[in-house]
Amino acid sequence: MTQQARKALSGVTMKPFWLDRPDAPDTRFPLETATQCDLLIVGGGFTGLWAGIQAKEQNPDLDVVLIEAGRVAHGASGRPGGVVSTSVMHGLSNAARIFPKDIDELERLGHENMHGFLDTITRHGIDCHAEWGGELTVAVDPDHVPALSDEHRLHLEHGHDSTLLDTDGVRAQINSPRYFGGIWSKNISGTVHPALLAWGLKRAAIELGVRLYENTRLKRVVDNGATLIVETSIGARIKASKVLLATNAFAEGDRRIKRRVVAVRDRVLATEPLSDAQMQSIGWQNRQGVYDTRTQMNYMRLTKDNRIIFGGRLAYAYGGEISPSVDQELDTYEPLAGAFFSTFPQLDGLRFSHAWSGPIDLTTRMAVHFQRYHGGKAVYAGGYSGFGVSASRFGARIGLDILNGSRQPESHLEFATSMPTVVPPEPFRWLGAEITMYALDTADEKGGWRRPWLNMVTKLGFPLS
């Protein structure tokens, strides 16, 4: 297996497949002189871009500035699997786990969010290779099938267009000897090319009048009473009435954000395009976004040119470092490549073209939350925990409403007013993460102490087992 993985990885490009395109837009100039604005958005990923667009669409006269430390989409938003879901709470089961009493309203908000998403990409002519084949959750062990049936029941109770598949049914969708059952959910969901989406949103935000500066990092926020002064890396100061911190796992803007947000990373591989014969051998004609039930979960999808994007191998570096050098070492991708070939043994000989990792803002809630600072003049919106391609539009909308005094009824629901649990600081965070990552990697093969450990972590708030 290692030999096969090593061979398939040789010659791989160590950067996100999504960002490796000649048509990437030009980088905008950094902010070099002092300025002031009504709303400052910090972060040029999906949350920040959606916030800029929605703020200008609600009020074209609002003066909105967006600053991005690097380039737009070079954080999580240019690196994901790109599976799009209707849920704004990391799936229906997670919504039922965290906010059972509001689940119907959260479902309604999820649908509303996806309609808004579709409306925006249509109106602004954003071609992000969207495909609406739905989401498929696949059981990789016969013992996982009963849990899928329970989840399917929950889907039906909430009116989802969802089909439960047995072994033959799931293999008729995607031909893998690892699959023993599945749920195919067809609620407006599927896949997008995330970088094309982010670049399209960047264009739309600029056309709407957002003043967008790249290579401009927020260094410090000073509370001036009526306004906030944001100091940037190149010395220009921004005086803003309100600040939305859309900084994901980077969690910058206030050191207290990190108490609840753990910066983990996830690894992803892209294959070379599959030939027609290879495509025929795997089926996958409905081109769903796929998650499996492995303890160290894998997700996958097809690209427009029939590559397979295959991701899912969490890691944590001391202090929550987001791009440690270890992510440039090819051998750290071998277990993921191994999982790929155990899923598709018929693709032996296929090579990977790209390998990369990206930051995930993990919280015990596993879904967006809002932290308020400076008497409500600054709000952090984040914590999607690896499920934010479409939920970020919702996070941005609620974050803006909280900054505006929570005028919408949904901003008074528990998800908007409560917080995920505080996570212990270093070195306990690192130690806990090390043991947990090791248990996640080996629980399926070795069992033993690993299951009780993962159950304990689940009881502490992280739903891992």
Ligand X SMILES: Cc1cc2nc3c(=O)[nH]c(=O)nc-3n(C[C@H](O)[C@H](O)[C@H](O)COP(=O)(O)OP(=O)(O)OC[C@H]3O[C@@H](n4cnc5c(N)ncnc54)[C@H](O)[C@@H]3O)c2cc1C
Interacting residues toward ligand X by CB under 6 A: 42-48, 67-70, 74-77, 79-83, 217-218, 246-248, 250, 252, 266, 268, 299, 311, 358-360, 382, 384, 386-389, 392
Cβ-based neighbours of 27, under 8 Å, separated by 6 or more: 71, 214, 215
Instruction: Please give the C-alpha separations between residue 7 and each of 176, 242, 334, 411, in angstroms, as whole numbers.
Output: 21, 52, 10, 51
Smallest distance from ligand X to CB 459, Å: 25
Smallest distance from ligand X to CB 276, Å: 26
Report the alpha-carbon distance of residue 183 to residue 91 in Å, rounded.
13
Instruction: Please give the C-alpha separations between residue 76 and each of 227, 265, 392, in angstroms, as whole numbers.
Output: 30, 9, 11
Strands 352-362, 262-271: parallel, antiparallel or unpaired by DSSP?
antiparallel
Provide φ and ψ at 74, rounded to 5°: -90, 0
In this complex, which beta carbon is closest to ligand X, that of residue 86 or of residue 436?
86
Smallest distance from ligand X to CB 465, Å: 21
State the amino acid at position 111 in one-letter form: H
Smallest distance from ligand X to CB 19, Å: 12
Smallest distance from ligand X to CB 364, Å: 16
Q: Locate 363 and state its tokens.
A: 């919280």
In this complex, which beta carbon is closest to ligand X, that of residue 299 or of residue 310?
299
Smallest distance from ligand X to CB 278, Å: 23
Report the alpha-carbon distance of residue 12 to residue 126 in Å, rounded.
29
In this complex, which beta carbon is closest to ligand X, that of residue 190 or of residue 450?
190
In this complex, which beta carbon is closest to ligand X, that of residue 275 or of residue 328?
328
In this complex, which beta carbon is closest to ligand X, that of residue 19 or of residue 360?
360
Report the alpha-carbon distance of residue 435 to residue 432 in Å, rounded.
5
- Long-range contact set of residues 120-124: C-beta below 8 Å, sequence gap at least 24: 120/53, 120/201, 120/204, 120/393, 121/197, 121/200, 124/200, 124/201, 124/203, 124/204, 124/207
Q: Where are the alpha helices (DSSP H) in 258-333?
A: 276-282
Cβ-based neighbours of 275, under 8 Å, separated by 6 or more: none
- Sign of the Cα pseudo-torsion (172, 173, 176, 178, in order): negative
In this complex, which beta carbon is closest to ligand X, that of residue 145 or of residue 317?
317
Smallest distance from ligand X to CB 217, Å: 4
In this complex, which beta carbon is closest to ligand X, that of residue 9 or of residue 268?
268
Check: CB of residue 19 under 8 Å from CB of residue 74.
yes
In this complex, which beta carbon is closest to ligand X, that of residue 360 or of residue 453?
360
Smallest distance from ligand X to CB 432, Å: 21
